Structure 1
Amino acid sequence: MAEKMVSSFWGPVTSTTEWCEKNYTHSSYIAEFYNTVSNIPCILLALIGLINALRQRFEKRFSILHLSNMVLAIGSMLFHATLQHVQQQSDETPMVWEMLLYIYVLYSPDWHYRSTMPTFMFFYGAAFAIFHSQVRFGIGFKVHYIILCLLCVPRMYKYYIYTKDASAKRLAKLYVSTIFLASLCWLFDRIFCPKISAWNINPQGHALWHVLMGFNSYFANTFLMFCRAQQLEWSPRVVYFLGFFPYVKIQKPKTQ
């Protein structure tokens, strides 16, 4: 929702998408204030996951996965702060890269040709980035992204049914519940924007989407770290910091 009467450091909106938040209400440097700052929890959660992965020497794929979550959140901040098309790409392209990485993490343990899958993912991601820089996507990007997400579902479900640990299963349930609630917030913000705009208080559905998806990514990553540690026989346990914040603790065999 562009506000023409408010000064803008970044100039006219050039992105193909805007959200149900009035522009430049708090600063001439931030187009959508709440949609921008709501990415901070995503960065902090990814940083916590990254520290845990490095401290316990998990496979590099998990460090890269947490880093990709941080890159995505930073790209989202830039997009919502500027509402420029070039920054929209810094949000949408990492979204696709991140899903390709999730597909790799999910399916690589059973992939017989180890170099084929990452090579294909790399070239696919590079080709998408180049194509996306030249072509403005609309509904096509959303459909493409949803297809990539759906490719992860069968494998996530397989991991869930083969996991006996109750705490790990709880992580998977938190993953499902947060993405469900986040999707409701996203849809509410998009569908009911004309009505929301007339309210005195905007519930900031898209900002809530960011926060919930930050937790969703953390729960997904933590669950996958548990499953992978179980495959490698690292005796994983889900423990809780301060009694409520979950993370995976492992005990590698002495030979490793």
Structure 2
Amino acid sequence: MNKYYWGDHDASVKFCENKYEHYYWIAEYHNTTSSLCYIFTGLIVMRTRLKFLGQLLFCVGIGAMLLHTTLSHLSQMGDEMSMLALSFYSLKELRPVTSSYLIYPLLTSYCLFSKYFAVFFLTFTGLQLLIAKYASAKINRKDKKWIFLYFTSFIIGSLCWLLDQVCRVGFIEGLEPYQMHAWWHFFTAAAIGFGYMAILH
């Protein structure tokens, strides 16, 4: 019999938060509940002309909740595929000539190598760099507040993610109570919202 409610943790990515501390059926309580930030931001974005991106962001929230509730590989795939789809269609919003058909080889190749977190990480990072490149050309630079808020939130969120990974491998003891990955969810959800506001203005 499995010692965890959802079975063995077979996700290829790990987080610092202690497991099953609050509820026997939620592996990482804080990381699960903080995923609601994506859902709330997605609901706000759905009320704009970027409705489809809001729906994808909503799916990112659901995927993140499932991953942190179960720590299963299948849930990780749902989380990461929704992140890749959101990134791809955000890029397409900035660069409309991007072929919609590219999403299929992107997600197929991810599925083939989903056991290797590095494949997702490199693909996701590449998409973020392309988004930054095309955003800098398209966004109205006169309205800099949204861009400033986007970059500030994203940098703080990235530092939180990095601290969570450092805590996980034991380089910095005592970071677990600060729930750095939960803060990653908060700051990146805010960054996405600010980024879409920059596109809309």
Q: TM-score, normalised by structure 2?
A: 0.90
| Structure 1 counterpart of 2:11, from 15, 21, 40 | 15
Q: 2:36 aligns with which of 34, 40, 43?
A: 40
Equivalent residue in structure 1 for 2:141, among 163, 167, 170: 163
Query: Which residue is 1:124 aligned to?
Result: 105
Does structure 2 conserve the Cα–Cα contact (< 8 Å) formed by 1:93 and 1:128? no
Aligned-pair RMSD on alpha carbons? 2.0
**Matched residue, 2:131:** 152
Q: Please state how far the C-alpha of 1:41 moved relative to its aligned partner.
A: 1.9
Q: Which of residues 70, 73, 82 in structure 2 aligns to 1:82?
A: 70
User: 1:204 and 1:85 mapped to 2: Cα distance?
Assistant: 22
Q: 1:143 to 1:122 in 2, by over 3 A?
A: closer
- Match runs of 1:66-215 below 5 Å: 66-108=54-96, 111=97, 117-128=98-109, 130-132=111-113, 135-160=114-139, 162-164=140-142, 168-193=143-168, 194-196=170-172, 198-199=173-174, 202-215=177-190
Question: Residues 67 and 17 from structure 1, CA distance in 2 versus in 1: closer, same or farther, beyond 3 angstroms?
Answer: same
SS of the residue 1:202 aligns to: helix
Say whether the 8 Å CA contact 2:149–2:191 is kept in structure 1: yes
Larger Rg: 1
Deviations 1:77-102 (A, max 9, x none): 00010001110101111111111101
Partner of 1:231: none
Count the aligned residue pairs. 199
Contact in 1 for aligned 2:167/2:175 (Cα 8 Å): no
Contact 1:65 1:102 in 2 (8 A): yes
* Separation (CA, whole Å) in 2 of partners of 1:99 and 1:128: 16
Specify the SS of the correspondent of 1:192: helix
2:132 alignment partner AA: V
Contact 2:110 2:120 in 1 (8 A): no
Cα offset, 1:200, TM superposition: 8.3
**Higher mean C-alpha deviation, range 39-48 or range 174-183:** 39-48
- Counterpart CA distance in 2 for 1:201 and 1:147 is 29
CA pair 98-201 structure 1, distance change in 2 beyond 3 A: closer
Question: Whole-Å Cα distance in 1 between the matches of residues 185 and 150 of structure 2?
Answer: 14
**In 2, are the aligned partners of 1:36 and 1:77 still within 8 Å (CA)?**
yes
Offset at residue 138 of structure 1 (A): 2.4
> Which runs of no fewer than 5 residues in structure 2 stay unpaired?
none
Would the aligned equivalents of 1:43 and 1:74 in 2 still touch at CA under 8 Å?
A: yes
- Which of 1 and 2 has higher RCO (CA within 8 Å, sep 6+)? 2
Q: Please report the TM-score for the alignment, with normalisation by the length of structure 1.
A: 0.72
> Which residue identity lines up with residue 180 of structure 1 in the other structure?
I
Structure 1, unmatched stretches of 5+, are: 1-6, 112-116, 227-256
Tell whether the 8 Å contact from 1:178 to 1:215 is kept in structure 2 after alignment: yes
Query: Higher helix share goes to which structure?
Result: 2
Residues in 1 aligned to 2:20 and 2:80: alpha-carbon distance in whole angstroms: 22
